[in-house]
Structure 1
Amino acid sequence: MLKINRENLKTSHQLIWFIIDFLMLGLLIINLTLIVIDSIYGFIAVQNLLLEHAPQVHQFYQPVHENFLFVDLVFVTIFLSEFFLRWGYAIKARVYDRWYFYPFIHWYDLVGCIPVGSLRFLRVLRVISIIYRLHQYKIIDITQFRLYRLVSFYYEAFMEELSDRIVIKVLSGVQSELSLGSPLFERIQDDILYPRREMLTEWISGRIAKAASQGYMPKRADLRIYLEGRVDNALKQNLELSRLRLVPVVGPTIQETLEDAVGDIVANVVHQIMEDLASTSNHAFVEDLVQVMLPAPGTEEPDETRNDALIALINEIIEAIKAQVKVKHWRAELKQ
């Protein structure tokens, strides 16, 4: 059921044009219905069938069929009058940059008025343009139509299938070029990553600081107990340190003190490192790391082993992207 938003229609500054749109829409539907009926009636088999089973219908419609061109010309006259009226308004309101742009932009309105069988059906485009304009101004809501949802669903499914195949084909082509020795990863490193070292440094620095603060700080006490336990166990297995117990009187005390001191030193060192990583002071460290990973173009010798590793890495990334592209989202919607 078509629902018209009367509030938007009343408050619109183009009320007259919307009324004309509704009138044209009704006339177009009537005209297209007559065209379809006349096209079907044009078959001799249909005429013979009506003549045999419904002679009154045949007798009534036969004159209309013979003079259908004149009947259609009545509609064409109305459509052309409305076309030139809108063209004149477009010129007066300066809707387009040039006065002669209107017929080129609305060519389907003009061509559809040609009373030739194959061109008459271009009037369907005029119906679609009117409905779209009414929907755009929120006079009607075509998304509520079951037909629209059905067409929209299969259109999206078709476009997804088409785009997925194109993307997979392109990615497969990239993989083929890589296997043939394409300098793609050098271009990625030299032309994309290297000019953006500062951005990468900031991003990596922020990620490390966030991981250190959120991952380490809440479990600082647990990590300290774990480190002291591991250090204590390692020191007990050390042969030279175990000989301290043989020293009379003070040997066991020295050993225990040394174990506690070493465990405390290791825990404090690790804690200081994590605190540095969790703060902005890690920026210099990350910057040095990025400089090593992304040297200036032409400053290092080519490394075949590294190149092969980079090609394998890029291939794995592309395969992951292809696997994601192959996921059919429209099938999941179909099951709902």
Structure 2
Amino acid sequence: MLHINRENLKSSHQLIWFTIDFLMLGLLIINLALIIWDSIYGFIAIQNLLQEQVPAFRALYHPIHENFIFYDMVFVSIFLSEFFLRWGYAIKAGIYDRWYFYPFIHWYDLIGCIPVGSLRFLRILRVISIIYRLHQYKIIDITRSRIYRFVNFYYEAFMEELSDRIVLKVLSGVQQEVQRGSPLFDRIQQDILYPRREMLADWISSRVAEAASEGYIPNRGALRSYLEDRVDTALQQNLELSRLKFLPVVGPTIQETLEEAVGDIVANVIHEILEDLASATNHAFIEDIVNVFLPTPDQVEADDSQNEALINLILEIIDAIKEQVRVKYWREDMP
């Protein structure tokens, strides 16, 4: 059941138009109910049944059925009057850039007014447009209604099933292309990545420098202490170095000196590497790495074993993606 937000309705500057919307909504529901009933009444079997069971009702309604077009035109005249009233307001308020845009934008309000049997049911579009407009202005909240939750649940289920089948079809096609030895990967490497090697090197260089400066420099002291502790532990477990302590007089001193020297050397080497990575001087190093991974096209040598391993890896990744796509999340919401 829809709940009307009376506070938003009262505070709105379009109270008159919303009142008209509710009035039109009621008339549309009544009109559609009459159209459905008249369509059912059109069957001879229904007329005979009513003649047998409730002859008074049939005698009362049969003249309406024979002149239903007249009664329907009464509703149509009301709907058209409301349409032209809104059109005039749109022109006065300058809602659209041209005065004649309104009937094209609100075509669904016009097409349902055609008094032809099959087109009459298109008035449901006008019901939907009014409900959507009221929901958009937060006068009503259709998401709280049972009908909306019911329809939305099966809509989401249908869309998930449809999208899953499309994705699985696309991924299966990609697998077939990979198995046939599609030149896609060569094109990506030679036509896309290789011409942009310098840009990739600049980007990777800046990212590495940023990561090193933000991650290492603030924690330089803690990292140095950690490295020295690790080196001391490794040296203490070394058998050859442990034998130095058995030398008379100078043995323990030599052992301690070596441990401190090795720890200091390792810490300084790591410090210099990370300092270089955190500065702009890392560009040449990063560029060399990029050149190794993206050689010039004439330097690329085909390696069947490596290509086969790469293809198998890609196929396994796609299989994993397909397994994940097959998961039906909409079933988790079922009671």
TM-score where L is the length of structure 2: 0.81
Query: Which residue identity does 1:12 align to in structure 2?
Result: S
Distance change (3 Å), C-alpha of 1:276 and 1:328: farther
Q: 1:39: Cα distance to partner?
A: 1.4
CA distance in 1, matches of 2:164, 2:218: 39
CA distance in 2, matches of 1:204, 1:320: 31
Cα deviation 1:78-133 (Å, max 9, x = unaligned): 11222222233333334333333332322222221122221111000110001101
- Using the aligned pairs only, state the percent identity: 57
Distance change (3 Å), C-alpha of 1:154 and 1:209: farther
Query: Which residue identity does 1:268 align to in structure 2?
Result: A
Distance change (3 Å), C-alpha of 1:255 and 1:220: closer
Aligned to 2:300: 301
Query: Which residue identity does 1:152 align to in structure 2?
Result: N
Aligned to 1:272: 271
Cα deviation 1:148-176 (Å, max 9, x = unaligned): 12211221221122112212211221222
Cα deviation 1:231-257 (Å, max 9, x = unaligned): 4444529xxx96x799x8468458735
The within-5 A match list for 1:1-336 is 1-194=1-194, 195=196, 196-197=199-200, 198-204=202-208, 206=210, 221=225, 224-234=228-238, 236=240, 249=248, 252=251, 256=255, 260=259, 263-265=262-264, 267-269=266-268, 271-272=270-271, 275-276=274-275, 279-280=278-279, 283-284=282-283, 285-295=285-295, 297-298=296-297, 300-305=299-304, 306-334=306-334
Cα deviation 1:273-332 (Å, max 9, x = unaligned): 67548845784344442343234x535223335444443443344334333333322222
TM-score where L is the length of structure 1: 0.81
CA distance in 2, matches of 1:168, 1:183: 22
CA distance in 1, matches of 2:297, 2:32: 70
Q: 1:136: Cα distance to partner?
A: 0.9
Distance change (3 Å), C-alpha of 1:41 and 1:211: farther
Q: 1:193: Cα distance to partner?
A: 4.4
RMSD: 3.4
CA distance in 2, matches of 1:316, 1:208: 34
CA distance in 1, matches of 2:218, 2:328: 36
CA distance in 2, matches of 1:178, 1:169: 14
Question: Which deviates further from its counterpart, 202-211 or 314-323?
Answer: 202-211
Question: Which deviates further from its counterpart, 153-162 or 202-211?
Answer: 202-211
Distance change (3 Å), C-alpha of 1:68 and 1:277: farther
Q: 1:140: Cα distance to partner?
A: 1.4
CA distance in 1, matches of 2:293, 2:171: 26
8 Å CA contact 2:208, 2:278 repeated in 1? no
8 Å CA contact 1:185, 1:310 repeated in 2? no
8 Å CA contact 1:211, 1:278 repeated in 2? no
Cα deviation 1:250-274 (Å, max 9, x = unaligned): 6845873575256425642564267
Across the two proteins, how many residue pairs are aligned to each other?
Answer: 329
Distance change (3 Å), C-alpha of 1:14 and 1:143: same
Could you say what secondary structure the match of 2:314 adopts? helix
Question: Which deviates further from its counterpart, 52-61 or 151-160?
Answer: 52-61
8 Å CA contact 1:232, 1:259 repeated in 2? no
Distance change (3 Å), C-alpha of 1:189 and 1:175: same
